[in-house]
Amino acid sequence: MKIDLNCDLGESFGRYSLGMDEQVLAVITSANIACGFHAGDPEVMQKTVALAHKNQVAIGAHPGFPDLVGFGRRKMQLTPAAVQADIIYQLGALQAFCGGTPLHHVKPHGALYNMAADDLTLATAICNGIASVDPSTSLIGLANSNLIKAARQVGLPYAQEVFADRQYLPNGRLVPRNQPNAMIADEDIAVQRVLRMGKDHVVTAVDGSEVSIIPDTICVHGDGPKALAFVKRIHAALIENQVAVTAF
Pick from 145, 10, 25: which is nearest to 90 by CA?
A: 10
Instruction: State the pLDDT at residue 19.
Output: 87
Q: Which residues contact 16 (CB under 8 A, 6 or more apart)?
A: none
Using CA atoms, how far apart are residues 204 and 22, in angstroms rounded to an integer?
Answer: 33
10 Å Cβ neighbour count for 121? Answer: 12
Note the pLDDT tens digit of each residue in 199-219.
Answer: 999 999 999 999 999 999 999
| 7-16, 71-80, 216-225: the lowest-pLDDT one | 216-225
Note the pLDDT tens digit of each residue in 11-36.
Answer: 999 999 988 999 999 999 999 999 99
Indicate the angle between helix axes 42-54 and 80-95, nearest 10 degrees.
60
Tell me the mean pLDDT in the region 167-184: 92
Using CA atoms, how far apart are residues 160 and 151, in angstroms rounded to an integer?
Answer: 11
pLDDT at 152 over 80: yes
CA distances from 16 to 23, 44, 46 (A): 18, 11, 16
CA distances from 99 to 49, 96, 192 (A): 9, 7, 39
For domain 2-245, give the CATH number.
Answer: 3.20.20.370
Using CA atoms, how far apart are residues 69 and 34, in angstroms rounded to an integer?
Answer: 14
Fill in the amino acid letter for 55. N
Domain residue ranges of the chain, discontinuous segments joined by +: 2-245
Reduced to 3 states (helix: H, G, I; strand: E, B; else coil), residue 17 is coil
Instruction: State the pLDDT at residue 223.
Output: 76
pLDDT band at 225 (very low <50, low <70, confident <90, very high): low
